[in-house]
Every structure is written in C-alpha cells, then in structure tokens.
Chains A and B, each alone.
Chain A
Amino acid sequence: MSVLGADFRRDFEIRRYPFLVYGLVPLTALVLQAWLPRLLGPYAWFDLPLVVTVYFALGRRSPIQGTLMGAAMGLFEDALSHHAIGVNGIAKTMAGFLAASVGVRIDVENFTIRLMFIFVLSLLSSAIYVFVYRVLLGLDLDWGWFMALLTALGNSAIALVMFPLLDRLQLQD
C-alpha cells in the first residue's frame, strides 16, 4: 500500500489517454453490452458500461469526470431499454463519483483492491437502481439479489482482464 498523500498521488498518477479512447471504449462497451446477451442468453452476468465508468473514474481521479461519464453511460443504457430514462443514469452517476472520490484516497493499482472495489460498486449500483425504481418512482420491480451478486462477480472477473488491457492505451509521458 502506498504511503503517499492523496493530493500528491493524485497529481502524480493521473492517467491520460488519447482522445479517441474516451469515445471508442465507452461506445464499444455499450455495443457489446447490447450485443453479447444475444450470444450468451441468460448468462450475461456483467455490466460493461459500469466497468468502463469505474476504470476511467479511477484512472482520471476526477469526481466530476467520473460523474459525467457515469451519467452518460447510464443514460445510454436507459435509452436502449424500455424503462424510464434516468434510473441507470442515477446509479452510474453515483458509482462514477464514488469511484473517483475513493480512488484518490486508496491505492487502486493493487489488483485485489480493484476487484473488491468494482464488486462493491456493482452491488451499490444495483441497490441504487432498486431504490430509485421502487422508492423514488413507486413502480413495481421484480428483483433478484442473486442475479445482482452474479453480475458483481462477473464485473470483477471482467475488470481483472480489461483493466490491464486498457492500461496499455494510456499516454506515456
């Protein structure tokens, strides 16, 4: 675990990517999230937009950027569904903000911490989704926490592979 202070590490470890990466990676995540369930059927236990949101939030270490990225990804997911637009948006906005805020203070280079972090954020995102749907909107929602748990595990597994791959795309000074 690093002993550097938060502000120093933030200035030192902010990652930068080519401009295209900010557009193509989220778009690829959205397209794959919409397309892969056709192949995998009921076994599509992952949320690629959430993984990408958390990755960029952790890498950029900017809560505002994490918030905006989460909101955009969530709204796109909502727009592709037939549910109200904004439910996933709120959930992923919170996830992006929290990822960036916490990423400033802990060492997210450690793989174990990364996996635990994405696991917890996945469950938190699901909880916010259910809260907004049932409490804020007052709508009926059949929800299974087992599926949410599987999705969180799937996100952790994907992050294990995807984060090192995305790390290769960052700009080197």
Chain B
Amino acid sequence: MKSKLSALKFVRNNKKQVWVMIVALSLTFMTMYIVNFLFLTTKESFKALFLEQPKRVAYLDITPATMGVEKDNYTSDDEYSVAIDKARDNMIADIKKHEGIRDAVLTQTIYASYQGIIGQVGYDFPLLSKEQIPEFLNHMGAKLIEGRMPEGDGEILVDEKVLKNKKMEVGGYFNESSYGHTFKVVGVLASDYMTCVGTPMGYTNSGWYIVVLCDEANADMTKVLKDIGITPTEYDTMYDCVDWADMYEELVTKQLDAALLAILIVVVIFLAISILVAYVSFMRSRVNEYCLYTSIGFGRKDVYGMIMREIVLIFGISIILGGIVTVIIMIYLGSFVLEPMGLIYKYFYPEHLLRILAAFVAIVGALQIPISVTINNIKTIDMIEE
C-alpha cells in the first residue's frame, strides 16, 4: 500500500517556483564557498611565507646589551663600536657551531611585498655575495629555472610566484623600499618557500641582519641563542619560526577566520529570512491542499513528511548544482586570476564545506518553525466549510 504523499508532484508541477528556489540556494552555496576559496587562497599563499620559509631561514638583529656590550663601559664611540663588532662576530661563530645551523652571516636585506586576494604581506630577503648565493639556494631547495645567477652588484633572483605577483619579468627592476636603488631581476627561482636572494648595492632601508640558515628542528632562535649563552630581550628583533607563526596566527588566521565567520553568519541570516518568507508564502498558498490530505485520511505526519521531502529534494538539488557551478568558477578563477597572480590555492576545504552544509542544515532547522505552525493549524475540510 502506498503510504507516502509524493514530494515529486510539487517539484514537477511548480518548476518556476522550485527553480527560483534552487537557483537562489545554489548561488548562495556558490557565493559562500567562493568567498571561502578566495580568503583561504590568501591564507594558503601567506602560509609559505609565514610558516614554511622561517623553518629554513631566520633574521636576527640583537642589541649590544643582549650581547653583553654596555656603552657605559667604554670611553669612546669607536671603542664601543669595536666591542660590538667583536661580540657580534663571536655570537655568529657560536651560532654557526650550533647543531642544525648551516650558516650564519651578517648581511643587508631588502623588502619584498606579496599581494594576496585580501591583504598584503612583506618579508625580507638577503643580499649576499655572489659566492654565497649557491649555498643559500641549495639550503632553500630553490632552483634557477630561467635567467642566470647574479654576477654584478644589485642583481636579484626572484621566486616565480613572487615575480608573477609583482607582474615582473626577467630584466625588470625591483626597487621596492630600497632607497631608490634598483635591483635588476636576472633569474627566476622555483622554490617551496618563495625564495628570493640578490647581491647588495649600496644601503637599503631594511637594514642589516644576521641571516641564519637553519633546519626545521633548530629554527627557534630564542632557543639557539640561549644554548650559546645569550638571553634575548624584547629589544631584540628575531624573525624566526616562532615570531612568524605568531604573526600568521594574529594577522592572517584570526582575522580571515573572523571575517569568514562574519560573512557566513550574515549570509545565513539573510538566506534564512528569505527562505522563511518564501516558504511561509508557499505553505499559505497550499493550506487547502494540506486540509484535503488530512480529510481524506493522511495524517499530519504524512503531510510533514511530504513537506520535508520536498525541502530535502530542493536543498539537495541546490547543493549539487551549486557544487558544480562552484567547481567551474573555481577552475576559472584558479587558471585566469590566481595563477597569474602567483598565488597558491587549493580547491577542496572539507572543514569549510562542512560549515556551509551545516549552515544549510541550520536553515532547514529554522524552517521547522513555519512548518510546525502550518502543520498544527491544518484543519479538515468540514472545518473550512463551516
């Protein structure tokens, strides 16, 4: 015996209404996922800079006081300066001896910016002698894929993604925050850490740092310094894995996650209100139909079951359709927008997909309110006719 009221009849016979609903839900699904995708592309791209690169290289600027050189102990600036140089040289020699440290060198750096879909991040890269560069590239696992190695002053090698991001080519000039010096791009690097390196040319405004080439297990410079008897203070600058990880958490993860959550909440609230209003109107127009069903022997549970099956069908089709449209748009964005920008992206974020699906389930949950009100108010036809 047939025991269910068919949900297909409404879907099949109200194509216009149902398609409007399906298209609206699909577009909402797509918008939510694409916003996630773009935000997370930024996060993914910045991850290489914030979390991966500092596992291989750290930048230290340690104050004389930390190195044990107090100005009051010296009668002239020259004496003080010599003492600082000596203490720094000793410290560098000690760092080099530390386990897991490949090299440490005092050198100038320059600043490179990298533009995400949302926000921009800046980082320093070292200016080394042309003899030091191959070792640096070897340590960073970077390969020259185009152009040549630096031969003269002011020549740089730039990671292919950074180069794309800055819309530059080999032969172009890189003059970001470098006191007007122009660094010529002579080669392109393929690397997992967005590696850039060059030869110095005059002073840049990024200053001098001790560049430490480390392995992942010894990338915490506070620990390394403590191991050699130096206790860093708040006045010391240390761009190492701990510092970058904190910045990533504060500047990228927390802010992007908060923005994503805010967008999701706003979209869900607006969507829920729109769907509720649409459904209340749908159900009002069908009150006589529901009354007929209960009059001819279907229970309220049967009517509720039919309404829920209709909703699940509409939401299911919307999610499938929205998923297909989303994949097409992501492939387009990936190939024609993100790839040319040199951004790192991936398509599948299961956690965020689940969050969107949970939002849809929450909307279905919210629909229970008007559905319950309607179901409880169903009368039989004798009551209508009276």
Q: Do A and B come from one complex?
A: no
